[in-house]
Amino acid sequence: MPFMPTQVVQALLTEGEAAGGMGIWDLAIQIGLIILIFYLLLIRPQQKRTKEHQKMLDGLKRGDEVITSGGIYGKITAITDFVVTLEVAPEVRIKIQRSQVAGLKPEETPAKDKEKDAGKGKENNAKEKD
């Protein structure tokens, strides 16, 4: 009589139960917990980010300054359901897929500009001392 793989599984299950190991329900509970953890830590946050990105894409309009997923900054000059035309320099326009817009261009704050100017001042002071 040939030895079947199902016999191996059955032998392992009965051997584990006889030795005081975990039963099939304990295994099912552990697998269920792993699936729950994956859902809470990986799947749900990704769905939330996707939903926010889609909301941002739906709100795009002509004149918005955006950054693409490739790192190109530009101003929207035309927009359709699937294509966005960006002006990246005066009279230089490129067409990209709408889904490749990563986000709106972050606005520069005056505090950041002051920090940059302060850093330049320190460099100039160090040069003057030498």
Tally of structural domains, the chain: 2
**Containing domain of residue 78, as a range?**
61-104
What confidence tens digit (pLDDT) does each residue in 34-58 have?
999 999 999 999 999 999 999 999 9
Ranges of H-type helices in the chain = 5-18, 24-38, 44-58, 110-129
Residue 84 inside a domain? The answer is yes
Are 13 and 46 members of one domain?
yes
- pLDDT, residue 106, reads 85
Q: Which CATH number covers residue 75?
A: 2.30.30
Residue 124 inside a domain? The answer is no
Listed in sequence order, the residues at least 6 apart from 83 whose beta carbon sits closer than 8 Å to its beta carbon are 95, 96, 97, 98
Residue 123 inside a domain? The answer is no
* pTM listed for this prediction: 0.59
What confidence tens digit (pLDDT) does each residue in 108-126 have?
766 655 555 555 555 555 5
Are 37 and 65 members of one domain?
no
Residue 115 inside a domain? The answer is no
